[in-house]
Amino acid sequence: MTARPQNRLQTNALCAELTPAQIDKLACLARSEHHTAGTFVFREGELATDLYLIDAGRVGLELCSPRGVHTIDTLDRDDALGLSWMYPGARWLFDARATEPLDLVVIDGQRLHALCEQDTDLGMRLMRAMAREVIERLQATRARLLDFYR
């Protein structure tokens, strides 16, 4: 049986600073999605409309080149997938492909924008959590640029 969106949001790092009432508001915008291993959640170039929170499974962010398929990053349980929804009109830069059976909580980006504007405290807390996520990914990218295993 699938857990209620509220319960699934509670454990996600993005929601760590939200109050229970704010999590309830977020849950009202959420739906569940399941992807079988090998299928795409979204493709490079598509409009980035939603925020995805991973409930179970693993997803790879991929990019094709003549050298093959590059996996840029993998994300799994309790990670946020796709940060581009923050900017209306943005498009995904990578393919997101389930590498294992994947359960997602999907939050409609447009309605989330409206909610953040209406409940600015929720908006501030969510943006702070998003900023932390972005900083962590930036630091990880910098560490990989050092290529220290060579």
Partner 1 sequence: MSVYLPRPFVVDAVERETADTVTLVIRPQSGLAPAMKAGQFAMLSAFGTGEVPISVSRIARDRLHHTIRHVGEATRALTALKTGDSLGFRGPFGTAWPLAAAVGKDLLVLAGGLGLAPLRPVLDYVMNHRDRFARVSVLYGTREVSQVLFGRDHKAWRSLMSLRMTVDHDVRQPDCAPWSGQVGVITKLIPKATYDAQNTVAMVCGPEIMMRFSARDLEASGIERANIHVSLERNMKCAVGLCGHCQLSNFLVCRDGAVLSYDRVAPLLTVREL
Identified binder of partner 1 from the candidate list 58, 111, 113, 132, rule CB under 8 A: 58
CA angle 17, 126, 102 (to 5 degrees): 90
CA distances from 148 to 142, 143, 144, 145 (A): 11, 8, 8, 8
Taking CB under 8 A as the binding criterion, the range among 3-11, 105-113, 114-122, 140-148 that sits at the site for partner 1 is 140-148
* CA nearest neighbour of 62 among 49, 81, 78, 47: 81
Which residue has 């600015």 as its token pair?
120
Taking CB under 8 A as the binding criterion, the range among 3-11, 16-24, 125-133, 136-144 that sits at the site for partner 1 is 136-144
Identified binder of partner 1 from the candidate list 16, 28, 69, 138, rule CB under 8 A: 69
Q: How far is the CB of 129 from partner 1 (least distance, A)?
A: 15
- Nearest-angstrom CA–CA distance, 5 and 2: 9
Structure tokens at 130: 């998003």
Q: How far is the CB of 112 from partner 1 (least distance, A)?
A: 25
Q: How far is the CB of 130 from partner 1 (least distance, A)?
A: 17
Query: Please, which residues bridge with residue 63 across strands?
Result: 70
Determine, following the binding rule CB under 8 A, whether residue 66 of this chain makes contact with partner 1: no
Non-local (6+) Cβ contacts of 3 within 8 A are 55
Determine, following the binding rule CB under 8 A, whether residue 10 of this chain makes contact with partner 1: no
Identified binder of partner 1 from the candidate list 72, 93, 124, 131, rule CB under 8 A: 72
Of 68 and 89, which has the nearer Cβ to partner 1?
68
Residues that bind partner 1 (CB under 8 A): 58, 60, 67-74, 76-77, 99, 140, 143-144, 146-150
